[in-house]
Amino acid sequence: MKFNVFEKHLGYVFLLVVWFPAFGKTNTGKFPNVLLIQADDLGYDDLSLHGNPHLETPSLDQLGKESVQFSQFYLQNVCAPSRAALLTGRNYLRTGVTSVHAGRDYMNLDETTIAEVFKANGYITGMWGKWHSGKTNGYFPWDRGFDEAYYACLYNYFDNKGLLNGREVNTPGFTTDAITDMAISFIKKNKDQPFFAYMSHLAPHNPWRAPRHYINKYSEKGLSLPLATLYGMIDNLDHNVGRLVNTVDSLGLGSNTIIVFLSDNGPAQNSYRFGLTRTEWEGRNPSGMKGSKGSNWENGIRSTLFVRWKNKLKPAIVDRLSKIEDLFPTLVAMSGISMRDTLHLDGIDFSQEFYGQPVPGGKIYFSHHSPKGHKGTIEATRDMSTPSDPLTAAFKASFVFEHQGLAVRDGDWKFIQNQDGEQGRLYNIKADPREKNNLLHLAPGRAKSMQDDLSVWYQSILQANSYNMPVFQIGYKNRAFNQVYACSPRQITGSLENQNHYLSHWTTLKDVAQYAIKVHTPGAYEVFLIHEIDDFENYGFRLSSGHSYVESTLVDSRDRDFGTLIEGESAYWEDFDHQETFRKSIVKSSLGKIELTKNMTYLELSVTKIPARIHLEARSRVLAIHLEKQ
């Protein structure tokens, strides 16, 4: 039975049957609404519809049965890259996104988002939940085309808080429930005008958490606590997807709303504090697909895709080779709205497939989210992972193609390199969806051709506006509150080490970190340093730009307002589950006032005083530079 379920969905035995009326305005005379629902770390097999023997996902199963289901839909293997591709219709590396932390998750500000296109065509736009495309002024969702946007602090599943159009909002209860409430309210409020709604769930991303009754439901089936918690989390997600879809239908909007459901990457095997055994992992993945989140194997990059439009699309299962970038132009075309022809999209509009007219799928390129190179030199090593190093010009010059974790899908064939120590492998995915039979030696010519094509593509990425650190927008739209995350420098010197959530090892005098900025509102700014430095009273810091600078020995300001997103970042908590355990060793110190002008393009933070002796294990971390307009 398990094998048959797998073959049904991954073995290419499908029929495409759709209805053929024109897209665009419906018989109500209005442009269709779009409801885009995205899960986080939901595997292809995490649905009972796809053969999971224990999970109960009735709402998603029903949505799938009412939808066109895509069996070969692909995305990138981690979250921020996939989300950048979804929002822009372009391969994520072209958007400036490279990884998931340390400033590498910021989308270039010259990118046009799908929300901006719909908004320009008269839609009201909203999003709620996970925004992993930049967390400072100019990069927020309300700055990128969303009229209403709730930026949830990530992975805090109970009594969370976040920013609603820049204002702090608390969300009591379970986060998946709370953000769904927001989306439902938006839909009800805007039911009489075209809307574009992006429901961006955090679940079921680590840490696995769920309301107790959901966990009990699966514990009573004899499942372990980790598995019961994960499945309870997905069960709750399913319930909330059902709430959203039922809202659309109960308001009579079903035939005027395109509903899309997808994930952002494959499933993760472990969570904070616990994980799955090998047997449990195999049970979670009945299709037998290889790999997991973070890999370019099928289970890391293949996702569910449901597209429902009542009275427009008949339910079907299709095997069209599709990618996440395709959704941008396809939804624009299905809605009958316009966009500039200068966006240079990588996505392909496949809407004509719904008319029975084949649309070539093209090739799909995959890249590991962290480039491999050697900072400061032109040498590179294949096994060097660099998720937090600043992307300097010298570092970028060391990104040798042969050392990168890349893959390309071309028709039935897939070439993959530098995955799990393998320099190159070739698979026919149609015949071998579980990637068991490497055909490299049987078809060396095809492998060489696909690798050459992959190399040409990667060189185009290196020549694009890629591998960038963010440009912090100071005084954007006259906002007084500005933060520069210390872990997002464009370059660092000396002994400094960049980490996911802070810049550390301030142990050498004159060590410098430089940050790219754009000053929108010139004038005086009060400068605060948010830090976690043992014996901080014996440290001094200087912030400068050109001839303007401010310098001070660190003193505890006793101000514990660090900003919503820093306080809500669980990496700064003693206990991953409790925000009240925000570490008391994190301090905010005033450096004084600095004068900034519009022609300034950088800020330099340097250490001017250090203790005579520094203990080997002493912390010297800077979290952020806070600038308050005077």
Nearest Cα residue to 142 out of 121, 127, 159, 162:
127
Does the pLDDT of residue 20 top 70, yes or no?
no
pLDDT tens readout for residues 542-599:
999 999 999 999 999 999 999 999 999 999 999 888 888 999 999 999 999 999 999 9
The rounded Cα 39 to chain-centroid distance in angstroms is: 11
Instruction: Categorize the per-residue pLDDT at 513 as very low, low, confident or very high, splitting at 50, 70 and 90.
Output: very high
Using a pLDDT cut of 70, give the percent of the chain over it: 93
Strands 497-498 and 471-474: unpaired
3-class DSSP assignment, residue 161: strand
Residue among 546, 625, 547, 621 at smallest CA distance from 592: 625
| 319-335 pLDDT per residue, tens | 999 999 999 999 999 99
Residue 367: pLDDT above 90? yes
Cβ atoms of 543 and 474 within 8 Å: the answer is no
DSSP sequence for 485-551: ETT--SEE-TT-EE-SS-EE---STT-EEEEEEEESS-EEEEEEEEEEETTGGG-EEEEEETTEEEE
Residue type, 273: R
Q: Does the structure show a pLDDT above 90 at 494? A: no
The C-alpha angle 78, 133, 386, rounded to 5 degrees, equals 50
Non-local CB neighbours of 38 within 8 Å, separated by 6+ positions: 83, 86, 198, 199, 200, 201, 261, 262, 263, 264
Give the CA angle between residues 205, 206, 210 to the nearest 5°: 85
8 Å CB contact between 343 and 112: yes
Edge-first strand listing for the sheet containing 364-367: 364-367, 406-410, 413-417, 425-428
The bridge status of strand 148-152 relative to strand 158-164 is antiparallel
Q: pTM here?
A: 0.94
pLDDT for the residue 261: 98
Which of 104, 619, 91, 134 has the alpha carbon at shortest distance from 386? 104
Contact predicate 527/627, CB 8 Å: yes
pLDDT grade, residue 397 (50/70/90)? confident
- For the chain, how big is the Rg over CA atoms in Å? 25
Report how far Cα 64 is from the mean position of its chain's Cα atoms. Answer: 24
Separation CA 94–CA 460 (nearest Å): 9
Residue 121, pLDDT > 60, answer yes
Lowest mean pLDDT across 362-376, 405-419, 601-615: 362-376
Question: How far apart are the C-alpha atoms of 268 and 181, rounded to whole Å?
Answer: 27
CB 590, CB 528: distance < 8 Å: yes
Domain chopping of the chain, boundaries: 2-362, 369-405+422-463, 471-629
Number of H helices, E strands in the chain: 13, 29
Which residue, chain included where needed, has tokens 């301090």? 587
Residue 2 above 60 pLDDT? no
The pLDDT of residue 12 is 42
Q: By C-alpha distance, which of 465, 92, 155 is closest to 301?
A: 92
Q: Is the pLDDT score of 18 beyond 90?
A: no
pLDDT at 15: 42
Secondary structure class of 264 (helix, strand, coil):
coil
Residue with tokens 């989308």: 107
Averaged over 45-51, what is the pLDDT?
96
> pLDDT-based confidence at 5, cuts 50/70/90?
very low
DSSP state letter for 580 = G
* Domain 2-362 in this protein, CATH class: alpha beta
Give mean pLDDT, residues 517-530.
98
- Would the CATH topology of 2-362 be identical to that of 471-629? no
Percent of the chain with pLDDT over 90: 83
Tokens for 543, please give them.
């912030």
Rounded Cα distance, 149 and 135, in Å: 13
> Where does 370-511 have alpha helices with state H?
393-396, 444-463
pLDDT digit string (tens) for 532-544?
999 999 999 999 9
Above 60 in pLDDT, residue 1? no
What mean pLDDT is reported for the chain? Answer: 92
Looking at per-residue pLDDT, the higher value among 271 and 602 belongs to 602
What three-state secondary structure class fits 444?
A: helix
Average pLDDT over residues 360-369: 91
pLDDT of 11 reads 44
Contact 332, 339 (CB under 8 A): yes
Judged against a pLDDT cut of 90, whether residue 379 lies above it is answered with no
Pairing of β 73-74 and β 322-323: parallel
CA distance 196 to 335: 10
pLDDT score, position 384? 58
Distances (CA, A) of 374 to 112, 217, 274, 328, 462: 32, 49, 33, 35, 16
- Cβ neighbours, 10 Å, residue 480: 12
Q: Omega into 226 within 30° of 0, i.e. cis?
A: no
In the CATH scheme, what is the homologous superfamily, with its name and number, of domain 471-629?
A: Galactose-binding domain-like (2.60.120.260)
Tokens 């070739």 appear where?
A: 426
Coil/strand/helix, residue 409: strand
Give the residue-averaged pLDDT of 372-396.
Answer: 70
Kindly report which listed range (163-177, 229-243, 374-388, 531-545) carries the lowest average pLDDT score. Answer: 374-388
**Residue 220 is encoded by which pair of tokens?**
């009573």
Tally Cβ neighbours within 10 Å of residue 198. Answer: 27
